[in-house]
Amino acid sequence: MRTVRLDEGIWRSDVPNGLVILTERMPWLRSAAAGFWVKTASAHEPREKMGVSHLLEHMVFKGTTTRSAQDIAVALESRGGGLDAYTGRDHTTYQARMLDADFPLALDLLTDIVRRPLLREADLALERNVVLEEIATVEDTPDDLVFDLHAAALWGSHSYGYRILGTRETVADLTVEDLKALHRRTYLPHQLVFAAAGNVEHEAVLGLLERAGWFALEPGPQEQVVAAPAAATRLEQRVERDGAQVHLVFGTETFRYGDPRRHALVLVSTIFGSGMSSRLFQRVREELGLAYTVYAFHSFLQASGAAGVYVGTQPPTAEQAAATIREEFAKLARHSLTAEELASAKQQVKGQLVLALEGPVSRMYRLAGSALYAESYKTIDQVLGEIDAVRPDEVAAVAAEFYAPERQVVVWLGPS
């Protein structure tokens, strides 16, 4: 096993079977956070099995070879901690938050649900209904649903356009064997990253993982790679449904997580639509009163990324809101940011980063991200330096390419 020190109190170990282990020691805390990241999720699913990764994430909590569902639910909650999981497009995550004294318990619990779920037919019937209720919740939440519709419009037949929860039809057709096959194929050491932050010692974590049997496991088949999606056909889609608001998403594909233009795009997105001081908030809400909620978003994935704008507005003002946002897109693409805006964006992004890293959960996520996206670990000071080093011409190039109004795929959801 190869172990290297990445920074003060930060270590990485690579086990021969492919498991990656990262820890950050925060000795001033009396708590810790830990989690396993599985390198498979909705982007790796065939269309007919859409939602299988998410359903498996639910099912591992229904019981293991050593714990009942009740045992899993009570183990950490009864001690003030908690257990959680989520499925994204690139990864499925299982994580725990606990007192430092309960770290061995939390690791044993995480190992149990990741390695030894029962995946019983009787549990599937119940949990399928829970997921169908979750799908119904999204369908009744238009500001969530519109993003699913936009992903489908933006990515087309690529798996990034699939619904993470699946559809009613695909979830209804999933079987226990589908879940077991996915678990056998992907919940393997070379497909996993383990990260922990808080009052933990790296050597102690390695000892716990070894005793849990992680180092003795054999690696599995080659990891799945998500192909880069083709550029979307520029379009505008209107989906009619009853409601008090029209929900609009403007957006375009950008670039993958490790692209060197990432900081420049984040700076542009921040000034464009992050917070009350942003251009969109000031123009759309404060000056014109066209919306309560308007913001810019961005995301970076394994094979691509996206950036855009969301707004929710009443039907009589929807066309005006859309026209105003297009005007702001055009202005940004043509003129980029002022020097004052760029300086403000850098300070805002750096401040948000530092504040976010005050707790162990965000530190844990940051550690895992470096391994999941095969990036060299960078200290916080290095990242802050990279943000400071972004040049005006780099920001202008990103603004011109990705914020041009004619590039945006637009989805409307609401009354006609």
- Catalytic residue numbers read 57
CA distances from 200 to 192, 303, 361 (A): 20, 33, 13
How far apart are alpha carbons 168 and 265 in whole angstroms? 36
Rounded to a whole number of angstroms, the distance between the first and last alpha carbons of the chain is: 61
How far apart are alpha carbons 73 and 96 in whole angstroms? 12
How far apart are alpha carbons 250 and 68 in whole angstroms? 45
How far apart are alpha carbons 185 and 49 in whole angstroms? 15
196 three-state secondary structure: strand
How far apart are alpha carbons 242 and 255 in whole angstroms? 35
Q: Which residues pair with 307 in a beta bridge?
A: 252, 298
Element (H, E) at 83: strand 82-87
Token pair, residue 112, equals 């149990």
Element (H, E) at 333: helix 318-335
Element (H, E) at 193: strand 192-198
412 three-state secondary structure: strand
Residue with structure tokens 């998410």? 54
Q: How far is CA 228 from the centre of its chain?
A: 18
